Amino acid sequence: MKKFLFCLHPWDGFAIRGNYLRAAGRSHTHRLYTPQNSRKTLIHRMQALLLSLLLGPLTAEQFTASQFQQRCLKTANRAEASDQFVIKGRGGWYYLTKELRHLGIGQFWGEDATKVSRATKPKYADPLPAILDFNKNLKALGIHLIVLPVPPKVSINPEGIGIETKGRLDTTNATFLALLNKKGVDVIDLTPVFQERSGTGDLLYCKTDSHWSGAGCLIAAKETAKKLLRQEWLNRMHRRAYRKNLKKVMITGDLVSDQNDAPGEALKLTFITSKPDTPVEPHDESPVILLGDSHTLVFHSGQDMHATGAGLPDLLASELGTPVALIGVRGSGATAARISLYRKAKANPDYLKGKKALVWCFSAREFTESPGGWRVVPVVKK
């Protein structure tokens, strides 16, 4: 399937380049650029004009949470109708279409789960039973679960879709996280602190990538460590200080990497080392497990994850003064990550001995957008 790019620049027209459909907001002249030799030129022009008219002006506006939800759903539906999986906003911001869909569909648990979830099997649509079961099973093993959902980029930086706001936009996520807390699950809600810090310094998300930036990752590590350091067992441990080195790196984000003229993006990353140029390696015998999706791997595992030694496992080790055990997957952090934990514990019956805490980090969009859904997965073989 081709990957398309849906652009929201109000000053652009619509352009098709290679495998990319670039669609923009309304322009005064409705300039349309299409391949001269294409037999579908007329169709392309009609589609571009229709989307342009539907989009409306993209001057920044003050939005309520309800209006934001409607804008997200409308934009996502239009993009998905044309198989456009990445949305290009103003100011160089790129967003995943499914992230906007997640924010637009409303309540996603209980009776509403099967109506909105992208899970291929309806019985796995609701995230609530799986999370509660995981918490119960870990608690029985003496392991404290901390759920760390990563807020959707557009809920913190909505200016790319022409929105200004001073209030919280992801109110459905806020309600769900509060419900988890009420049911005994320890949750770190990053949205308030991200909103407080957004605009005061470095960006908290990559503009061209689906992950947080080095600054956002560092805040997540600090908030997680703040909660863990309240535990008496951790304060009794021998903790050491690691070296920190702030460096500027250039990346090509995963939301633009398919483009021939992909823009580079400069990031400031905090690299953690135990010795000069020696990253802090995850340690399976650590009392703290970091489990999750690619947010646990970005800036840590190198190659397409952009860097080594500056990701969440590294920053968390620095804040705690001890390495963490890492189980990170490139797929969904919803079910696939928990299956990986189960398999690891099955292969090594001693793996969970001495474990005191498990931090489960995944993108909040997984609540609705994971095709594998939310299976109930045991922690250990019964």
Residue 374's pLDDT is what?
98
pLDDT of residue 41: 45
Considering only CA atoms, which of 318, 379, 374, 371 is closest in space to residue 345?
A: 379
pLDDT for 32 equals 28
pLDDT in tens, the chain (382 residues): 334 455 654 433 223 223 333 333 323 222 222 333 344 445 544 554 454 444 444 455 678 999 999 999 999 999 999 999 999 999 999 999 999 999 999 999 999 999 999 999 999 999 999 999 999 999 999 999 999 999 999 999 999 999 887 789 999 999 999 999 999 999 999 999 999 998 787 899 999 999 999 999 999 999 999 999 999 999 898 899 999 999 999 999 999 988 877 789 999 999 999 988 899 999 999 999 999 999 999 999 999 999 999 999 999 999 999 999 999 999 899 999 999 999 999 999 999 999 999 999 999 999 999 999 999 999 998 7
Burial 240-255 (b: 16+ CB within 10 A, else e): eebeeeeeeeebbbbb
**pLDDT (0 to 100) of residue 13:** 29
Burial 54-83 (b: 16+ CB within 10 A, else e): ebeebeeeebebeebbebbbebbebbeeee
- Measured distance CA(14)–CA(337) in Å, rounded: 39
Bridge-based pairing state of the strands 278-279 and 265-275: antiparallel
Q: How far is CA 312 from the centre of its chain?
A: 13
Alpha-carbon span 180 to 207, nearest angstrom: 30
pLDDT at 235: 87
Q: Which of 54, 83, 96 is nearest to 71 (CA)?
A: 54
Measured in degrees and rounded to the nearest 5, phi and psi for residue 327 equal -130, 95
